[in-house]
């Protein structure tokens, strides 16, 4: 699984220079024709999205394996989370949860904020200045609860001091609705 704005249906998906499979389902809310975003994002308003996802049919890619082995977890503000992207791991803290926010002109509902981890030694501004926040190209990276192999969400967008993700259980529910599937966490 990755973001729909990263891989369209039929796209060949490559990781670390190796072909891993083909996107068999994709929903990219940024490419919906004729959808005019509301001027103010409100939960459950017309045009508000809860999904940005592509499902990838893995071919024979022995180097690709799922290291997150536990079911998705419901997260709450203050939870410590980790993101693995581009061969390294980065730690963050969950900010607001179940928020509605406009990203590149598109309204999203049920996001959670990904913030720099708080440090007792640094002021919040200094901590944010030294944090490695998700960068362009990290979209679709998965988050797990810190210190566990429990999947809790997927990154969809970021800003210099904040990033935004969709919660794992919401991703499964919305993918089932959008793609007429019966996915479940296992």
Bridge partner residues of 58 (DSSP): 21
In-domain check, residue 185 = no
Residues 87 and 140 in one domain: yes
Please say whether the beta carbons of 47 and 36 come within 8 A.
yes
- The larger pLDDT score, comparing residue 11 to residue 121, is at 11
We report the CATH number of the domain holding residue 151 as: 2.40.10.10
User: Which pair of tokens denotes residue 96?
Assistant: 């607001």
The structure's pTM equals 0.87
Q: Which domain holds residue 103?
A: 80-175
DSSP of 7-36: --TTPEEEETTEEEEEEEEEE-GGG-TTPP
Residues 59 and 98 in one domain: no
Query: How large is the average pLDDT for residues 24-48?
Result: 81
Q: How much is the mean pLDDT over the chain?
A: 85
Q: What is the pLDDT of residue 18?
A: 80
Q: What is the pLDDT of residue 117?
A: 85
Residues 60 and 91 in one domain: no
How long is the chain? 186
Residues 59 and 103 in one domain: no
User: 58: which residues sit within 8 A by CB, 6+ positions away?
Assistant: 20, 21, 64
In-domain check, residue 104 = yes
Answer with the one of 20, 39, 65 that is the final residue of a domain: 65
From the number of C-beta atoms within 10 Å of its C-beta (0-12, 13-18, 19+), residue 46 rates as exposed
């Amino acid at each position: 699984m990755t973001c729909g704005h990263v891989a369209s249906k039929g796209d060949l998906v490559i990781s670390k220079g190796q072909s891993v499979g083909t996107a068999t389902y994709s929903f990219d809310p940024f490419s919906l024709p004729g959808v005019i975003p509301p001027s103010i994002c409100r939960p459950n308003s017309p045009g508000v999205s809860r999904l940005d996802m592509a499902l990838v049919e893995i071919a024979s890619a022995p180097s690709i394996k799922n290291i997150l082995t536990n079911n998705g977890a419901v997260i709450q503000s203050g939870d410590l989370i980790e993101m693995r992207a581009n061969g390294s791991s980065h730690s963050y803290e969950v900010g607001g949860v179940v928020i509605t926010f406009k990203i590149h002109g598109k309204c999203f509902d049920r996001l959670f904020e990904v913030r720099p981890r708080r440090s007792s030694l640094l002021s919040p501004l200094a901590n944010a200045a030294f944090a490695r926040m998700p960068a362009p190209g990290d979209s679709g990276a998965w988050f797990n609860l810190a210190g566990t192999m429990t999947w809790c969400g997927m990154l969809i967008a970021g800003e210099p001091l904040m990033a935004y993700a969709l919660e794992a259980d919401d991703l499964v529910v919305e993918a089932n609705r959008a793609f007429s599937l019966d996915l479940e966490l296992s």
